[in-house]
Structure 1
Amino acid sequence: MQFSIITELKNRKASDVIVFPFWEGAKRAKAAASLGSFDAEVKLPIETGDFTGGEGEILLIYTKGNKEQRCLLLGLGKEGEIAHDGLRLCFAKLAKFLIKHEFLTVNLVFPHVAEFRGMTVEEGLGHIVTGLLLSNYQFGYHVNEKIKKLLEHVTLIGVLPEMLTIIKKCQQISEGVYLARDLINGNAHEVTPTCLANLSKKIAANHQAVSLTLFDKSRILKEKMGLLAAVARGSAEDPVLIILSYKGAPRVKDHTVIVGKGITFDTGGLNLKPTGSIESMRDDMSGAATALATLATVAELGLKKNITAVVPSTENAIGSTSFKPGDVFYGYNGKTVEIGNTDAEGRLILADALAYTVKNLKPSRIIDLATLTGSMVIALGDGIAGMMSNDDKLSRDLITAGENTAEPLWRLPLFSPYKEQLSSDIADLKNVGGRPGGAITAALFLQEFVDHVPWAHIDIAGTAFLNKEKGYWPKNGVGFGVRLLINFLERL
């Protein structure tokens, strides 16, 4: 979607529709911007109460004698009461309405800034543009009839030219979200470890400040990453470890490492997932998608930060050489792990990636993202991601970022007595505990591989992939976490 801006209503060009924002008044809707020659057109539906200006309310009317034949009234709710995400959601709803009716070119009158209490003009514009962009997405469906026409051009009326930089930034961040969604939604036979490696090569080639190190199967074995290698044993696809580094501040030591789980399809291994659970398991690389998309977006934005995305990637497939329950393998840090369940594979590949990061990449902090446990879905549902961390400041900063982007995090405890569930008679650790506190025991397992580096584990099992759309989150791959991480990194 392209954007342009003009300062005055009279200077607009013809479009499929013009949109005017309204507040919900005590008695009747109140225009949130100048109506120009449309004042008479909107008078009747407001006086009759057919349009009240309620938050997210939309009314389509037809006009004569104007540059547009159609006019949309968009309700923003009570004046001064709309929340940051409420503004995003209003314009997300608008975008869906426009797409449904195939209104592809839009003149959009910007609301008066003074009426956004507690919100700057920059914030308001960013929320409006983000709401439009995040809803203007579809994955390339394989059934032609399902392909929708998306918004092509929006002209923002009443916006100063210098605000184009804000719009461009919103577009760059939304492109990162689109990238994550596309990776999650793609066929598992196409979005393979090799595919993720090739994407990383493209990101590095497109940005001078980005460098790439790839470990193939032989290098993984040479580095004694026994846990990643074990999970990969049953797959015809070779595993990879991706280390994609962006140096936006080469003279600064501060370094954030984002580790993303990259299981490109999860059968569960020999502990096979049942029908009803296995069908969507192409989403088990959502953490990897978020990590790579965030790194690409950071490079596009040119942030003055040092950030590395580390992605251990493999399939968890079934074959004659698959790893088996009861097997013991060495991790990169030398700890031995008994396999209690082959469907607890994500923590295994993360363990090697985390241990390698701690030893070799000199991280100031580590954030890992993974669709790790069904327990987290049961605990928090599909609207909140769970987080566990060994560092209070890191936790607070991530929670604040999630509040800013409406990607909420809820911190759970790293309750050390639960670690007893991971004890093994034949190894240092077992890769599963009991059913109680499963999300916590998974994080306690990962903690064994981060030493004392500030670290946060974000379990996105519930938020990465939705069964139905919610607001500006589409059905299937969401891209949860990209905007959150960008917000967090900007404020470091």
Structure 2
Amino acid sequence: MRGQGGSLPLKQRRPGRFGPDTPAPQIYPRSDDVTDPLALTFAETDLDAIAAQKGRIAVVLDPDGGLSVVARRVNKLTRGALTRLTEAAGFADKKAGEVITLAWPQGLAAEALDVVLLPRRAETALLRKTGGKLAKLLGADGMLVLAGNLNLPGELALGMMLRAYAYDAQKTEKATPNGPVQVMCARPDVDVAALQAIASGVFFTRDLINAPANVLTTTRFADQLAELSHLGIEIEVLSEDRLRDLGMGALLAVGQGSDSPSSVVVMQWRGGTGDDAPLALVGKGVVFDTGGISLKGAAGMEDMTMDMGGAGTVAGTMKALALRKAAANVVGLVGIVENMPSGSAVRPGDVVTTMKGDTVEVINTDAEGRLVLCDVMWYAQERFHPKAMIDLATLTGACIVALGHENAGVFSNSDPLCNAFLKAATAEGEGAWRLPMGQGYDDALKSRIADMKNVGGRPGGAIVAAQYLRRFVRDETPWIHLDIAGVASLKGETATAPAGATGWGVMALNRLVKDGFEG
């Protein structure tokens, strides 16, 4: 029997320099480390505390150069540094959102004074982007942010929290932890717990997506989700035997070529009334996707550790909802598999039977995500009769071709639900764009020997994939499909995330629940 990655388990290894009392080295790192958000507090402005503050101080300054009461105190302590800055040539060309650093400012114990150019009523997107810039300046001694009368100081702080993330779980040398951040402002009654809940959910998603496949195995993924039970989420892990009993032949076909067991994890948050039907969130959890027998090219295959991004987003959203005690019933369901080529792998031309009872001719084993989702979606409707259902998946490269890395693809059978989600995504700055559906795309799925094929050719690939999933949505169920292939993980950094997993979708779904499913 092979261990992870094809290596022999430790107990079968030949003896070496490690004696019976010497523990063997950890061959595979674990993914237990959870990235926690910044230590953040809000307080009323204390002008007398500024001079002795160590670390860094950030002071908000209006782009027109006018000095607030707080800025005037800083200006006095630094013997006119802010006045000299605002009167210097070129200051008039500075834009809102820029940060100008004055190192070792005279009159302050701080090592740096970061001058943040923001109007009092700055919009959310600008505040978060600027907060991301401040986060990149953080160090071990932390930062005092003098936000003055800034209208939405919590949004500036959330931007800092989201950007102050680093995935170093697999590195022997860890990043130096950031020191605490205190925001002094005119209105310090900010719900810090809500901000931390959002950041914790986003970070959980990022941690899961960033983890390599020999760390986040199918078993370990299920185990990590089970640990959410301490937040009050009810967890069930459906084993392969249970999935067979349920008739999930499509999902099981995807994982049958791997030594790692497949499962479905059900996460229930009961924050609403007891008899209220839940919102169902369904995620694709392919921990590694080789393409199966329809093997992918070698270039970039290492990125396929992120093919469980849909399940990761569902998990992060459930964590955020539980942490903030959302007053809604929400159930998250994720299908966890690994798609590998082997003697037992599903083959092109095979026909599998879904839980719904429909048969599918597998034309391309690399179109596996829809096979996973269709069974979990049907199970979600059979068991929970949800008031609405949203599935998320890194489903198609075609969606990246269509929308790049700026927007997720949105497909829906319900204009009200879709519009509500798009509104939530826009409010949170998470790009999303609705794409069409129609019978012409559905016709591409016709099969000669089965009820349908799992692919329909290259034209409109993302839409055809959505049409496949639509066949497993009951007419009475409002539904959205989110193709997050282009937004779940990026090669470069964004304003509020370093390169790698973004955590896209957690904030939009959290807002959707808050605005449309609570109360």
Does TM, scored on the shorter chain, surpass 0.5? yes
**Aligned residues: percent identity?**
31
**Distance in 1 (alpha carbons) for counterparts of 2:125 and 2:492:** 19
SS state at 2:360 partner: strand
Q: How far apart are residue 279 of structure 1 and its match?
A: 1.6
Q: How far apart are residue 159 of structure 1 and its match?
A: 4.2
Shift in alpha-carbon separation, 1:243–1:142, aligned structure 2, 3 A = closer
- For structure 1, which segment, 5-14 or 16-25, has the greater mean C-alpha deviation from structure 2 after superposition? 5-14
Contact 2:444 2:456 in 1 (8 A): yes
Q: How far apart are residue 69 of structure 1 and its match?
A: 4.3
Contact 2:377 2:472 in 1 (8 A): yes
**Runs of 5+ in structure 2 lacking a partner?**
1-37
Q: Would you say 1:442 and 2:465 are equivalent positions?
A: yes
Contact 2:149 2:186 in 1 (8 A): no
1:60 maps to: 101
2:40 maps to: 3
**Distance in 1 (alpha carbons) for counterparts of 2:472 and 2:154:** 39
**Distance in 2 (alpha carbons) for counterparts of 1:143 and 1:242:** 29
**Distance in 2 (alpha carbons) for counterparts of 1:339 and 1:226:** 12
1:118 maps to: none
Q: How far apart are residue 56 of structure 1 and its match?
A: 2.8
2:325 maps to: 302
**Distance in 1 (alpha carbons) for counterparts of 2:87 and 2:331:** 57
Q: Would you say 1:91 and 2:91 are equivalent positions?
A: no
- For structure 1, which segment, 394-403 or 356-365, has the greater mean C-alpha deviation from structure 2 after superposition? 356-365
**Distance in 2 (alpha carbons) for counterparts of 1:85 and 1:246:** 30
Contact 2:153 2:185 in 1 (8 A): no
Q: How far apart are residue 400 of structure 1 and its match?
A: 0.4
Contact 1:227 1:329 in 2 (8 A): yes
Q: Would you say 1:167 and 2:167 are equivalent positions?
A: no
* Offset from partner CA, 1:52-88 (integer Å, 9 cap, x none): 4522322222323334343111122xx4674321111
1:34 maps to: 70
1:117 maps to: none
Q: What one-letter code is carried by the residue in structure 2 that aligns with 1:45?
A: L
Q: How far apart are residue 362 of structure 1 and its match?
A: 1.2
Q: Would you say 1:433 and 2:482 are equivalent positions?
A: no
SS state at 1:440 partner: helix
**Distance in 1 (alpha carbons) for counterparts of 2:513 and 2:364:** 36
TM-score, length-normalised on structure 1? 0.92
Q: How far apart are residue 144 of structure 1 and its match?
A: 4.5
1:127 maps to: 155
Contact 2:60 2:71 in 1 (8 A): no
Q: What one-letter code is carried by the residue in structure 1 that aligns with 2:204?
A: L
**Distance in 1 (alpha carbons) for counterparts of 2:159 and 2:430:** 14
Q: What one-letter code is carried by the residue in structure 2 that aligns with 1:18?
A: I
Q: Would you say 1:487 and 2:511 are equivalent positions?
A: yes
Q: Would you say 1:398 and 2:421 are equivalent positions?
A: yes
Contact 1:33 1:112 in 2 (8 A): no
Shift in alpha-carbon separation, 1:50–1:246, aligned structure 2, 3 A = same
Contact 2:398 2:461 in 1 (8 A): yes
Q: How far apart are residue 111 of structure 1 and its match?
A: 3.8
Compute the RMSD of aligned alpha carbons: 1.7
1:140 maps to: 168
TM-score, length-normalised on structure 2? 0.87
Contact 1:421 1:441 in 2 (8 A): yes
2:298 maps to: 275
Contact 1:231 1:322 in 2 (8 A): yes
1:359 maps to: 382
Q: How far apart are residue 149 of structure 1 and its match?
A: 2.7
- For structure 1, which segment, 134-143 or 422-431, has the greater mean C-alpha deviation from structure 2 after superposition? 134-143
Contact 2:193 2:324 in 1 (8 A): no
Q: What one-letter code is carried by the residue in structure 1 that aligns with 2:143?
A: V
Q: How far apart are residue 310 of structure 1 and its match?
A: 0.4
Residues matched between the structures, number: 470
**Distance in 2 (alpha carbons) for counterparts of 1:484 and 1:107:** 29
Q: How far apart are residue 36 of structure 1 and its match?
A: 4.1
Contact 2:209 2:308 in 1 (8 A): yes
Q: What one-letter code is carried by the residue in structure 2 that aligns with 1:138?
A: A
2:143 maps to: 106
2:345 maps to: 322
Shift in alpha-carbon separation, 1:33–1:20, aligned structure 2, 3 A = farther
**Runs of 5+ in structure 1 lacking a partner?**
114-120
Q: Would you say 1:466 and 2:507 are equivalent positions?
A: no
- For structure 1, which segment, 36-45 or 217-226, has the greater mean C-alpha deviation from structure 2 after superposition? 36-45
Q: What one-letter code is carried by the residue in structure 1 that aligns with 2:208?
A: L
Shift in alpha-carbon separation, 1:361–1:292, aligned structure 2, 3 A = same
**Distance in 2 (alpha carbons) for counterparts of 1:32 and 1:345:** 58
SS state at 2:58 partner: strand
Q: Would you say 1:17 and 2:56 are equivalent positions?
A: yes
The counterpart of 2:215, out of the listed 176, 184, 190, is 190
Q: What one-letter code is carried by the residue in structure 1 that aligns with 2:221?
A: L
Q: How far apart are residue 299 of structure 1 and its match?
A: 0.9
Contact 1:21 1:33 in 2 (8 A): no
SS state at 1:183 partner: helix
Q: What one-letter code is carried by the residue in structure 2 that aligns with 1:192?
A: T
Contact 1:33 1:110 in 2 (8 A): no
- Write out aligned runs for 1:245-256 (5 A): 245-256=268-279
Q: Would you say 1:412 and 2:465 are equivalent positions?
A: no
Q: How far apart are residue 272 of structure 1 and its match?
A: 0.4
Q: What one-letter code is carried by the residue in structure 1 that aligns with 2:129?
A: L
SS state at 1:308 partner: strand
